[in-house]
Structure 1
Amino acid sequence: MIDAARILGTEVGSTAPAFLAVLAVHLLAALTAVITGASAALTSKGSPRHIRLGRWYYRAILAVVLTALALTAMRPRQDYHLAIIGLVAFAAARIGYLHRRRHRPGDAPHITGMGLSYIAMLTAFYVDNGPHLPLWDRLPTVALWLLPSAIGIPITVRALRRARRARPLETSPGRDGRASAG
């Protein structure tokens, strides 16, 4: 196993050049995902800006999971759980992205997928880095696993409720072929 080291005051799992190169790409992708994900969530749904930011978020999450898998391949015992969380984050983002991309009716799968993806990404960050962050280092390990969900799920539920209120009643053909509410 390659020895861990401290770089800029932060513990890094390895000093191997390949590990550090993948880690640098991983950090850049993760930072991009955090910024674009939050920005997309705060912009008007369906606007060109929201769509552009959402696409950048999706690409960034893909890069995050691919680099997480590469880092896990280099240190499987230490990082396997992060790869699993990364795969969950990407799967949720994929569901949300494909729902919107295929023009499926309703916003719930899109909002839920993207929200859960963001929560999973932050969970991985805090599980991995929380023990080294001021204040977070005082929390029990279980809190690092649960706090992103405890904060993110109510925000996602609120977004789902707002989307339901903002959307007019959709019509669907009834048995006789005429449109009916619901």
Structure 2
Amino acid sequence: MDNEVTFIFGVPVPSDNKLFLAIIVIHIVLGLICIISGMVAMLSQKTTKIHATAGKTYYWGMTVLFITVVITSLMRWPFNTHLLIVGTVAYALTFVGQRVAKSHRPNWTRLHTVSMGLSFVLLLTGFYVDNGKNLPFWNQFPQLFFWLFPAAIGIPIIVYVFYRHPLNKRKI
């Protein structure tokens, strides 16, 4: 592990390795793309081109984001194993959510809702666990808060959508 710290967008990164830093910049951009496309997919009318396009952007963004998580975790082994675990589970859920949406099996919308919703929760969890301590306002909270906060907000929303969204209510 490097002893140097580099600041990227005002956030300290514990490395001065140029390859690592280049991958981190790509990772940050992909993370922002995933957050934006995930929000658009969540808030858009389902069964529309907007939802489908945002969903595809989220899926492919998460795919490449996962690759960057694996690479950076291996480069800083064993210091980022927790982020590798969060990233792996988040990507597995994204993959399941995308595959089930293509399958149109009975009640596929429910599994899609849960999988994609939880992948988004874990996307935010990874971000806050790694960066929360360095962000204004958020830096006043203990580390455990960053592990629990995204789930505390996201899981009730997922449960609500699971039971209340018209696509999840219909019989298939």
Normalising to structure 1: TM-score of the pair?
Answer: 0.88
* SS at structure 2 position matched to 1:114: helix
In structure 2, the partner of 1:112 is 114
Amino acid at match of 1:136: W
Q: CA RMSD in A?
A: 1.4
Corresponding residue for 2:23?
22
Q: Partner of 2:156: helix, strand, or coil? A: helix
- Residue 180 of structure 1 aligns with which residue? none
How far, CA to CA, are the matches of 1:9 and 1:169 in structure 2? Answer: 50
Q: Secondary structure at the match of 1:169?
A: coil
Quick one: which amino acid aligns to residue 82 of structure 2? H
Gaps of 5+ in 1: 171-182
**Aligned counterpart, 1:102:** 103
Please state how far the C-alpha of 1:167 moved relative to its aligned partner: 4.2
Task: With a CA cutoff of 8 Å and minimum separation of 6, indicate the structure with the bigger relative contact order.
Answer: 2
Structure 1 residue runs of 4 or more that deviate by more than 6 Å after TM superposition: none
Distance 2:68 2:28 in 1: 9
Which residue identity is paired with 1:122? Answer: L
> Cα distance, 1:4 vs. partner?
3.3
Question: For residues 23-79 of structure 1, what are the alpha-carbon distances to aligned partners after superposition, in whole Å with 9 as ceiling and x for unaligned?
Answer: 111111111000000000000111111011101000111111110110011101221
Q: Give me the whole-angstrom Cα distance separating, in 2, the residues matched to 1:160 and 1:130.
A: 29
Task: Report the residue type matching 2:83 in the other structure.
Answer: L
Map 1:138-177 → 2, pairs under 5 A: 138-164=140-166, 167-170=169-172
Q: 1:91 to 1:166 in 2, by over 3 A?
A: closer
Contact 1:37 1:53 in 2 (8 A): yes
Indicate the structure (1 or 2) with the bigger Cα radius of gyration: 1
Q: Residues 162 and 168 of structure 2 are in contact (CA less than 8 Å); yes or no, is this contact kept in structure 1?
A: no
Which runs of 5 or more residues in structure 2 are unaligned? none
Shift in Å, 1:168: 3.5
Which amino acid in structure 2 is aligned with residue 3 of structure 1? N
Of 116, 136, 139 in structure 2, the residue corresponding to residue 137 of structure 1 is: 139
- What is the aligned counterpart of 1:125 among 121, 124, 127? 127
Counting only pairs closer than 5 Å after superposition, residues 61-100 of structure 1 correspond to structure 2 as 61-100=62-101
- For residue 31 of structure 1, what is the aligned residue in structure 2? 32
Aligned length: 170
TM-score (norm 2): 0.93
1:51 aligns with 2:44: no
Identity over aligned pairs, percent: 35
- Contact 1:4/1:11 (CA < 8 Å) preserved in 2? no
